[in-house]
Amino acid sequence: MKSSNSRPSRLGRNPFVHELKFTMTEKIKIGLMSVTVFPVRLLLVSFLMLLAWPFAFTASLGRSDFVFEPQSWWRRFIDLCLRVIMRAMWFCGGFHWIKVKGERAPPSEVPILTVAPHSSYFDAIPVTMTMCSIVTKLESRSIPVWGTLISYIRPVFVFRSDQDSRRKTVEEIKRRAGSGGEWPQIMIFPEGTCTNRSGLILFKAGAFIPGLPVQPVVLRYPNKLDTVSWTWQGPGAFKILWLTLCQPHNPMEIEYLPIYTPSNKEKENPALFANNVRKLMAKALQLPLTDLSFDDREISLSQGPLCIYDCSSLLEFNLLVRRWGLRAGTKDKVLEEQARRARKLQGGRLGLEDFAQFLNLPVTETLTQVHSLFDQHGDGQIDIRHYVIALSTIYRPSKSMETLKLAFKMYENEENGEVLQKELTTILEIMLGVKKMELSGLSLALCRPDTEKITYDEIHHFIEQHPHFVHEYLDFIDHPRKLCRPKSCNGQSHNKDD
């Protein structure tokens, strides 16, 4: 699979990975703080959170989730008490001075605040300071104590078990945003997940679909040692809390940028609106734009013995598949059926029209781009098996052996289940995202007369016996080995998506 010039590669540092390295001095400081300051801070933070619970619970009693009533005097008093308690809680956690730049616009002018980068649960600080509503999953309501505090700010809940959840969430955002300032402002983290703040990933369009003015808000954590980032691969939630509470001081900056009013073209195209706001926020943060999205995280953090070596071309393919609308409809049964039909073609090459017919889809610009990704010889013809392997890889990146088995079904000899070594090379090149590869190391390791053919059972058994198979037995031609070390192929999975 080749890369297209239509989407330049600007991946850089993986935003979903956070590695902490400590100097000896820092280790000594953390050790001392762990037995002195940390227990006191943890006790105070826990006490203040528990203290906030009855206030939030009382204020939420008898309140409608769909109609916003004017706050009575006692609810305004509780709101003030909660703000004071929460600010005291963050102070006890080491966030002594929170620098605020710019001025927050009133809800009547701007119903939506877009906040980035989203990198930690400490990003809740601006939420508790403003008591804005947020968009969050329904399950968060059941979190002990914290769930009551979340319910108090009247969030827009996302029902993930409901297939129509995305549409309903957008409709609720539009309903509140169009209330003329009656509802509290909605604070949205458009990245949709936590990153390490090395760049701004692609924004989701939810905050921009209403086509109303938004106020961008940027967050900064200037600490030299980044203990707050809570990414998909890196320190877990408690370790982040422990390390952060062990810091003498945790500086934070919140900057309200000028209101962004969309043009008519941006109102009609939420993706354009989102990208332009992202560019503006990246400039204010002095961060690069990263052509990755929430949906790309599993590909960039693939696990298993055949973890993706270079994800650039596969990420480009994944972007096109999402744009095409095929990602949501891809299931194991669909892949099996496509593999069965691809096998019947016996390596027959398909032009653009035949490719569209194979997928039962019309010829579109996106389909043309996908077809060109697999046009290795530049003759307008592709091997459909390459497409099926790539689709299986991005659909289930952590289940590489299932993809390998699916690929063998398309290539293997019916009598003995063998595939040629050159065919296995092609399969692995697509799965690993590399251009040219040799299996000479594997051939020598197999130690058998016929190394030009191999069965799935043989390669499966060999990989099981050699967990670092990719690095020990595969040779990549003109390709630097730098992306996937054995120990990093199994990242910790945290639940940080909004």
- Domain termination residue (choose one: 238, 261, 291): 291
- pLDDT confidence tier of residue 481, bands split at 50, 70 and 90: very low
Residues 380 and 396 in one domain: yes
Q: Is 341 left (phi over 0), alpha (psi -120 to 50) or beta?
A: alpha
Residues 340 and 222 in one domain: no
Tokens of 93: 């956690």
Q: Contact 418/374 with Cβ under 8 angstroms?
A: no
Buried b (16+ CB within 10 A) or exposed e, 370-380: bbbbbbeeeee
Q: Is 174 left (phi over 0), alpha (psi -120 to 50) or beta?
A: alpha
Residue 109 pLDDT = 93
Tell me the pLDDT tens digit for each residue of 360-415. Answer: 999 999 999 999 999 988 899 999 999 999 999 999 998 999 999 999 999 999 88
Tell me the pLDDT tens digit for each residue of 176-235. Answer: 888 888 888 999 999 999 999 999 999 999 899 999 999 999 999 998 899 999 999 999
Residues 457 and 340 in one domain: yes
Cα 13 from Cα 293, distance rounded (Å): 14
Cα 67 from Cα 69, distance rounded (Å): 6
Residues 483 and 417 in one domain: yes
Taking 50 as the threshold, does the pLDDT of residue 49 lie above it?
yes
Q: What's the structural domain count of the chain?
A: 2
Residues 388 and 461 in one domain: yes
Q: Helix H segments across 396-438? A: 400-411, 421-432
Q: Contact 446/454 with Cβ under 8 angstroms?
A: yes
15 is a domain residue: no
Cα 393 from Cα 398, distance rounded (Å): 8
Query: Which of 31-40, 64-73, 89-98 has the lowest average pLDDT?
Result: 64-73
Q: Contact 5/205 with Cβ under 8 angstroms?
A: no
Average pLDDT, integer, range 28-57: 96
- pLDDT confidence tier of residue 488, bands split at 50, 70 and 90: very low
Taking 90 as the threshold, does the pLDDT of residue 244 lie above it?
yes
pTM of the model: 0.82
Residue 66 pLDDT = 73
Cα 397 from Cα 298, distance rounded (Å): 7
- pLDDT confidence tier of residue 498, bands split at 50, 70 and 90: low
Residues 86 and 203 in one domain: yes
Taking 60 as the threshold, does the pLDDT of residue 7 lie above it?
no
455 is a domain residue: yes
Taking 70 as the threshold, does the pLDDT of residue 497 lie above it?
no
Cis peptide before 117 (omega within 30 of 0): yes
Residues 439 and 356 in one domain: yes
Residues 57 and 204 in one domain: yes
Residues 412 and 306 in one domain: yes
- How far from each other are the two terminal CA atoms of the chain, in whole angstroms? 33
Domain range spanning residue 482? 297-488
494 Cβ contact partners less than 8 Å away, ≥ 6 residues apart? 194, 230, 231, 232, 236, 237
Residue 328 pLDDT = 61
Residue 479 pLDDT = 53
Cα 264 from Cα 262, distance rounded (Å): 7
- pLDDT confidence tier of residue 452, bands split at 50, 70 and 90: confident
Residue 71 pLDDT = 76
- Domain termination residue (choose one: 291, 324, 354): 291
Taking 90 as the threshold, does the pLDDT of residue 93 lie above it?
yes
Q: Is the dihedral of CA 125, 130, 133, 134 positive or negative?
A: negative
Average pLDDT, integer, range 29-36: 96
Tokens of 218: 């940027």
424 is a domain residue: yes
Q: Contact 423/463 with Cβ under 8 angstroms?
A: no
Taking 70 as the threshold, does the pLDDT of residue 141 lie above it?
yes
pLDDT above 70: percentage of residues in the chain:
91
Highest mean pLDDT among 155-164, 212-221, 299-308, 459-468: 212-221
Residues 336 and 281 in one domain: no
Query: Which of 5-19, 42-56, 118-132 has the lowest average pLDDT?
Result: 5-19
483 Cβ contact partners less than 8 Å away, ≥ 6 residues apart? 309, 310, 311
Average pLDDT, integer, range 50-70: 85
- Domain termination residue (choose one: 237, 264, 291): 291
224 is a domain residue: yes
Tell me the pLDDT tens digit for each residue of 325-368. Answer: 776 656 888 899 999 999 999 888 999 999 999 999 999 999 99
14 is a domain residue: no
Residue 67 pLDDT = 75
390 is a domain residue: yes
Residue 398 pLDDT = 87
Which amino acid, 236? G
Residues 461 and 483 in one domain: yes
Residues 253 and 330 in one domain: no
